Amino acid sequence: MQFGLSESQRILQSNARKFFAAECPMAEVRRIMETDTAHDAKLWRAMAEQGFLGVVFPEEAGGMGLGYVELAALAEEMGRALVPGAFLSNLFAGAVMQATGAHKHLAEIASGGKTATVALLEANPNWDPQAIHMPTLAGEKLFVPDAASASWLIVAARDAGALALYLVDSHKARIVPMPAMDLTRRLYKVTFDHPAAELLAKGEAARKALDQAMDVATVALCAEMTGGMQRMLDIAVDYAKTRKQFGKPIGQYQAVQHQCADMLLFTEGSRSATYYAADTMTEANADSHTAVSVAKAYASDACRETGNRAVQVQGGMGFTWENDTHLYYRRAKASEIAFGDAAFHRERIARAVIG
C-alpha cells in the first residue's frame, strides 16, 4: 500500500506545474480575466497540445486514458496557478459525453476543437438532478459556467417527467452574463426556445451519467481547491516571514503562526481526502460516491477558511486588489458553491452512513 503519487504521476504533476508557470503566470491570469469570457483560445490550444483536456478520457476518444489521480494531480496545479477559463465546465461536459457514450463529440472536446458546458441549475438551484424542472427545451438555466465560450451546451431537462440530457449548439440559445464573484470563471443565464437538439440520454441512464460526471468534475474541483489553498498558504507564509511589526517578522508571533498552521491543516486534509476520492474512482470502489462527498464537504469549508486566514494574515495588503489573494478568495467561494456546498455533501454522506 502506498498513499502518494507514483513516479509517473509525479512527473505529470511537475510538468503541469512548469507548463502553467510558463504559459499562465499571474500577469496572464489577470489579463485573461479582464477579457469578455475569461477564456483564452491560445492558452486552450497549448493545454490541448499537452493532452490536458482529455487526461481521463479514453484513448479511442482522443484522450490520454489516465486515471482520476492523474486528473487530480493536474487539477491541483491548475488550482495553484488559478488557470482561468473553461477547463472544469468542459471536463464536466466531456464526462457526461463519456458516460452517455457520445464518443464522437468527446473526441472533439478532448482535442480542444470544440468546448462544451453543462446547463443544470434553475431558478431554485439544487445540485440534485431531481430538482431539474425545465421542460424539453423551453425555459431558463442559471449559473451556467463558461456558456459564452462554449461551442456546445449539454442541457438537463424534463421530458414527460423523465430526466433527459440534450446537446445543443450554443448559437441556438440566448446567453446573458451573470457577473459574479469569481472573475476567472464566468456564469451565464441561458434561455432556450425549442432549439434543435440531440438527445444524449434519458431516464435512469441520464441520471446515472450526470451522477458519474458530477463525481469526475467534483474531484477535479477539490484538487483545484487544494492547489488554491496551497497557494494562499504560501503567499501568506511568505508575507509573514518578511513583514515586520514591533521589530520582528509577524510570522514570529504565535497569533499569526497558528493561523498559518491551521491553513496547512486545511490544505493537507483536503489533499488527503481528494486523492483518496480520486483513487476510489479509478478503482471503481463502491464507496467512491461517499469519498467524493467527504472530499467536497471538507474542502468547501477548508478552502473558504484558508482564504479567510490568508487575507487576515496579510492585513491591509491582503485586502488590496493588487494582491493576488483576493483572486483565489473569489475562486474559493465559487468553488465552495459549485457541485454542492459542504451542507449538500454532508447530507449525501448522512444518507450513505446513517440512512
Partner 1 sequence: MDLNLTPQELRFRDEARAWFAANVPKDWVKRRDEEESMAGRFEYLRAWQRKLYDAGWAGISWPKDFGGRGASVMEQVIFIEEMARAEAPPMANVIALGLIGPTIIAFGTPEQKKRYLAKMLSAEEIWCQGFSEPNAGSDLASLSTTAVLDGDHFVVNGQKVWTSYAWAADWCELVVRTDPAAPKHKGLTALLVDMHTPGVEVRGLKQMSGESEFGEIFFRDVRVPVANLLGKVNEGWTVAMGTLMHERGTFGAALQVNYRRNFNRLVEIAKKIDRNGKPAAQDPLIRQKLAQCYAEIEVMRLNQLRAFSRINETGVPGPEGSIQKIVWSELNQRFQQVAMEILGPYGQLAHGSPGAIDEGQWAYGYLRSRGNTIEAGTSEIQRNIIGHFVLGLPKSY
Least Å distance between CB 263 and partner 1? 9
Considering only 100-108, 141-149, 218-226, 291-299, which stretch makes contact with partner 1 by CB under 8 A?
291-299
**Helical (H) or strand (E) element with 343:** helix 342-353
> Counting contacts by CB under 8 A, is residue 2 touching partner 1?
yes
Residue 154 C-alpha cell reads as 449539454
Considering only 93-101, 150-158, 166-174, 235-243, which stretch makes contact with partner 1 by CB under 8 A?
235-243
Q: Which of 66, 297, 303, 338 binds partner 1 (CB under 8 A)?
A: 297
Q: Which of 192, 298, 329, 339 binds partner 1 (CB under 8 A)?
A: 298
321 and 33 Cβ atoms separated by less than 8 Å: no
Q: Which of 254, 284, 321, 322 binds partner 1 (CB under 8 A)?
A: 254
| Listed residue (38, 37, 45, 46) closest to 19, CA to CA | 46
> Counting contacts by CB under 8 A, is residue 4 touching partner 1?
yes
Residue 126's SS3 state is coil
Q: Is the dihedral of CA 110, 166, 351, 334 positive or negative?
A: positive
Q: Which is nearer to partner 1, 118 or 223 (CB)?
A: 223
306 and 263 Cβ atoms separated by less than 8 Å: yes
> Counting contacts by CB under 8 A, is residue 65 touching partner 1?
no
Query: Which residue, chain included where needed, has cell 464518443?
Result: 103
> Counting contacts by CB under 8 A, is residue 353 touching partner 1?
yes
Separation between Cα atoms, residue 75 and residue 82, nearest integer Å: 10
Considering only 3-11, 45-53, 84-92, 109-117, which stretch makes contact with partner 1 by CB under 8 A?
3-11
Q: Which is nearer to partner 1, 104 or 130 (CB)?
A: 130
Q: How many CB atoms lie within 10 A of CB 252?
A: 14
Q: With CB under 8 A as the rule, give the number of residues binding partner 1.
A: 48
| Listed residue (298, 316, 328, 313) closest to 260, CA to CA | 313
Q: Which is nearer to partner 1, 50 or 288 (CB)?
A: 288
Alpha-carbon distances, residue 116 vs 42, 112, 113 (angstroms)? 17, 10, 10
> Counting contacts by CB under 8 A, is residue 294 touching partner 1?
yes
Q: Is the dihedral of CA 181, 185, 175, 121 positive or negative?
A: negative
Separation between Cα atoms, residue 257 and residue 69, nearest integer Å: 32
> Counting contacts by CB under 8 A, is residue 258 touching partner 1?
yes
> Counting contacts by CB under 8 A, is residue 252 touching partner 1?
yes
164 Rama class: left (phi>0) / alpha (psi -120 to 50) / beta: beta
For partner 1, the binding residues in 321-350 under the rule CB under 8 A are 343, 345-347, 349-350
232 Rama class: left (phi>0) / alpha (psi -120 to 50) / beta: alpha
> Counting contacts by CB under 8 A, is residue 174 touching partner 1?
no
Considering only 95-103, 130-138, 213-221, 251-259, which stretch makes contact with partner 1 by CB under 8 A?
251-259
For partner 1, the binding residues in 261-290 under the rule CB under 8 A are 261-262, 264-265, 268-269, 271-273, 275-276, 279, 283
Identify residue 117 by its one-letter amino acid code.
T
> Counting contacts by CB under 8 A, is residue 11 touching partner 1?
no
By CB under 8 A, name the binding residues for partner 1. Answer: 1-6, 9, 69, 233, 237, 240-241, 248-249, 251-254, 257-258, 260-262, 264-265, 268-269, 271-273, 275-276, 279, 283, 291, 293-294, 297-298, 343, 345-347, 349-350, 353-355
